[in-house]
Amino acid sequence: MNPHDGSTDPNAPATPSASNDRKLPAGIWALGFVSMLMDVSSEMIHALLPVYMVAVLGTSTLAVGIIEGIAEATASITKVFSGALSDWLGKRKLLAAIGYGLAACTKPIFPLAASLDWLIAARFIDRLGKGIRGAPRDALVADLAPPHLRGAAFGLRQSLDTIGAFSGPLIAIGLMWLTADHFQAVFWVAVIPAFVAVALILVFVKEPPRPQGLRRVRMPLHRDELARLGTAYWWVVAVATIFTLARFSEAFLILKAQSIGLPLALVPIVLVIMSLAYSLSAYPVGILADRMDRITLLVLGLILLIAADLVLAIAPGITGVGIGVTLWGLHMGFTQGLLAALIAAVAPAELRGTAFGVYNLVTGLALLIASVIAGLIWEMVGPGGTFLAGAGFATLAMVGLLLVRSRLEVP
């Protein structure tokens, strides 16, 4: 049922047969592999880019930080407008393909760039592409997936995306070893999966037909349209924001590993461990979310985050870091795809692009605030204080979630 008007969901299949009842559409799998391949390409470059900029081009670390901050802010802001545009057009695939295409076209610039200006331009356009594709792609997943399989659909896409996130750095490390630290050679290899991803979305992802009678949206970001998103949607956004405030940037996991004396060359392995736990858990949790209470799964995710913070704050040595980052990755698997599925469930079908755009912007700002707070605590108290504070924020988030669960009206 559509929670907004009590009618049948226009995207729901007529009467799925028993054999197809739990089968995800091919388009969902294709979008998952598109995300995976683009992440492989991007992370091969991003894993080496800061070092390349500093060691080869002589860029300052301050400049690297400013460039990265501007790039990520650009992606977050663009998502709002691209999501709204997809609602206005009534088309998702076009914008998603343009976003992936822009990102792919920037990849050859990285091995060819002879100056910092070119790298800044490529990084900016790459993140612009990410912003353009993000909300329309998530809305497309929601449009393609039967309502009773949305948890599995978002979990699968998140799992495949995260496989790309940890495969890219591993491939980059291997290629750097094989090529005797030849940055440009690695960057050229990264071009290949990016263009394969674009080919996949163009050929194998089909835009579903627009349901008859679905309202046309003329001004998606007008306050009247934002009000149509509904109370349940804004509660989900509020809960997701509190979740994000309790979970600061994964950069602090790297800093924690460095603080215990892990060799610099091995420090990135903590993100590989986290991403592996994330990717292995997101799809199974998504399947569970279609069969049991989703709020219970979110509570379990927060319990995992609290456990991760406590282990990282208290447990000594490499073993403590390994257990902590694994629990952190499991927390991500229990929450990120599920929150996206909740947004898809409570937002009106004609405003899903706008819904995902606003959600991504708000949670992106929350992550920035959380990371600034974590950095301040780190400077004043140290790593232990930062992770203990994270456990405290996560506990408050869990209490808040339990208090407002009845208001979410999750279908």
Residues 6+ apart with CB under 8 A from 112: 118
Q: How far apart are CA 397 and CA 384, in angstroms?
A: 20
pLDDT in tens, 101-150: 999 999 999 888 877 788 888 888 888 898 899 889 988 998 898 888 88
Half-sphere exposure of 147 (CA within 13 A, CB side): 18
pLDDT of residue 66: 62
Helix, strand and coil in the chain, % to nearest 5? 80, 0, 20
pLDDT of residue 301: 92
pLDDT of residue 29: 94
- Structural domains of the chain ordered from first start: 25-208 (1.20.1250.20), 223-411 (1.20.1250.20)
Segments in 49-149 forming alpha helices (H): 49-51, 61-89, 93-106, 109-112, 116-144
pLDDT in tens, 394-411: 898 888 888 777 666 555
pLDDT in tens, 372-382: 788 788 878 88
The tokens describing 259, both together, are 């603080």
Calculate the alpha carbon distances from 319 to 257, 273, 323 in Å: 11, 12, 6
Q: How far apart are CA 29 and CA 32, in angstroms?
A: 5
Half-sphere exposure of 28 (CA within 13 A, CB side): 22
Lowest mean pLDDT segment, chosen from 23-37, 190-204, 243-257: 243-257
pLDDT of residue 371: 76
Lowest mean pLDDT segment, chosen from 46-55, 200-209, 327-336: 46-55
Q: How confident is the model at residue 307 (pLDDT cuts 50, 70, 90)?
A: very high
Higher pLDDT, 30 or 225: 30
pLDDT in tens, 230-282: 888 888 888 888 888 778 777 678 778 878 877 655 666 787 888 889 989 99
Closest CA to 41 of 278, 200, 204: 200
Q: How far apart are CA 147 and CA 289, in angstroms?
A: 12
pLDDT of residue 344: 86
Average pLDDT in the 53-82 region? Answer: 70
First to last CA, the chain: 7
Residue type, 37: L
- DSSP letter string over 266-332? GTTHHHHHHHHHHHHHHHHHHHHHTTS-HHHHHHHHHHHHHHHHHHHHHS-HHHHHHHHHHHHHHHH
Calculate the alpha carbon distances from 399 to 248, 293, 309 in Å: 19, 17, 17
What integer best gives the mean pLDDT of the chain? 82
| CB-based contact 100:197 (threshold 8 Å) | yes
Residue type, 342: L
pLDDT of residue 14: 40
Q: How far apart are CA 338 and CA 384, in angstroms?
A: 29
pLDDT of residue 106: 92
